Structure 1
Amino acid sequence: MKILILSITFLFLVLFPSMAQEPRLSDELVFEERVFDFGEIKEEDGLVSHEFEFRNVSQKVLSINGVTSGCGCVQFEYPKEPLRPNATGKVKVTYNPAYRPGFFSKEVVVLSNNNANYNRIWVKGTVIPCQHPVSENYPYEYGSGLWMNFEVMAFGTIGKGGTKTMKLKYVNDTDHDMQLMFVVIGGNTDIKFTSPRMVKAREEGVMPVEYQYSGRFPAVTRVYPVINGRALVKPLVITCADPVD
């Protein structure tokens, strides 16, 4: 049994030598700087990049095997060809500030020497956010400045006596307050909710909508938003059905 274990261990080390020990900090690739601060950047300006310069200070040929980071917001470019002694190169780090307001600090790990060594560099800065179109989060426009995340709330199938709840999200995309209510057409009392009432200018909100299925009402119900006492033309459609239908 001991011979078998030793044989497997030896085979593993031969086939995967880079995993035989943890990578150690490289003293052969030397970076001129390890941290770069972008300062304040505007989200609307898009990607920002910086090149970190390094030198192979060893007496042997080295290669960068890869560059990694814990965030998909960071992209890399690095030399793919071997680096001779005293050769220089650059690792280009690009940061995407989209939908990432505020301060950021991202570590980047540069692997070299067949993944046996690593270097750590950082980019940081502060993103000044921009105003995004309301339709990005609320794709359905109902009129009078009201946008919502649903055009159809499909509750699917619910057995009689069963209950399901969904969240209706809304926003007042105007510079003035609005009184918002919802009116159910057809008297479907299976649909339960509490109207928002007052919605301030640019305010976002969430209204839980509960369907307590009794089987006594049609599968499709129209619910009309009412803003400042006036019903809008476009309805919110709510659907629900018994699994035997």
Structure 2
Amino acid sequence: MTLFTLCVAPMALMAQKITVAQPTIDCGQVQYRRPVTVQFEARNQSGRPITIAKVRSSCGCTVASYPSQAIANGKTFKVSAVYDARQLGHFQKELALYVDGGNKPVYLTLRGVVVEEVIDYTGDFPLELGDLRVDKTDVEYDDVNRGERPFFRINILNPTSKAVSPQVMHLPNYLEAQVSPSTIAAGRPGVVTLTLLSDKLRDFGLTQTTIYLGSNPGERVSADKAIEVSAVLLPSFKNITDATRQYAPKMSLSATYLDLGSFDGKKKKRGEIIITNNGRTDLEIRNIQMFTAGLEVSLSTRKIAPGASARLRVTAVASALHKVRTRPRILMITNDPDNAKVVIAVDVKR
């Protein structure tokens, strides 16, 4: 029988002023026919003693237990739930906690997946994030269309001697994070699932942010816990027809890879790419961005007439590139339906 216990981190839920450390507990993988027990830790902040009248579960497969005596103001208490894992597949069960004299419940949720055999990630965890180890610290959502919800998984390992309850911090509104299981025992693995809500991205092109993974609630943000996240949102051409496509702009590049050689003691290195419009209407460079620091770009014009060309000048800055972990790249978003996104890789020896 597996036991998950969480420490209190204030999060007001209902008018009764009961706060729960974590209203939703993810059990991760649960082995078939092996009941799993979770504990929700809560605090009475109502200003008076309370008594739990009842706890209702969403099905008979989940049985709850709770204190029968009065709970003084400011005191913590635990509600335990046992899920009888007799059905394979994903599960999500709710508990409704009612207090004497109150008609609005506090809802608690446990979820997970019942499997015939628990299968853990068998790869490496080469990177450190605070006290945890992970398989990656960079997440890229590439070629996303508005409305899609792609997800990434980061495998994590708790190498410490104590259980941890990892928390993802500084999430923007266009990202959702789920840690499974909610509590990871010493020496055990877990998974962080990051889902991109593309409808909430403001602009086409590149959006970047930094989020942080802490070992437990209440930890402070620091650089050694950082995860870099980027997403590229593509413009939509779903309404274009074959008849209109023949009049579309057609982008041509002198190169999609720019080798600037070595700095050789210089502070900057420069290169150039020619952009030509072989189409029948104006080519628009709607957005031009860099995936990393250390590059400077200038474009002679963002609107290129049919048959005309523009110059993209690229400057690599040695002092800034020295701190960059990934390969420098330039992103362009255009109105060419066949080249809505163009990426130019830049190579320079540091």
TM-score when normalising by structure 2: 0.29
Larger Rg: 1
State the structure with bigger RCO (CA 8 A, min sep 6), 1 or 2: 1
TM-score (structure 1 length as normaliser): 0.41
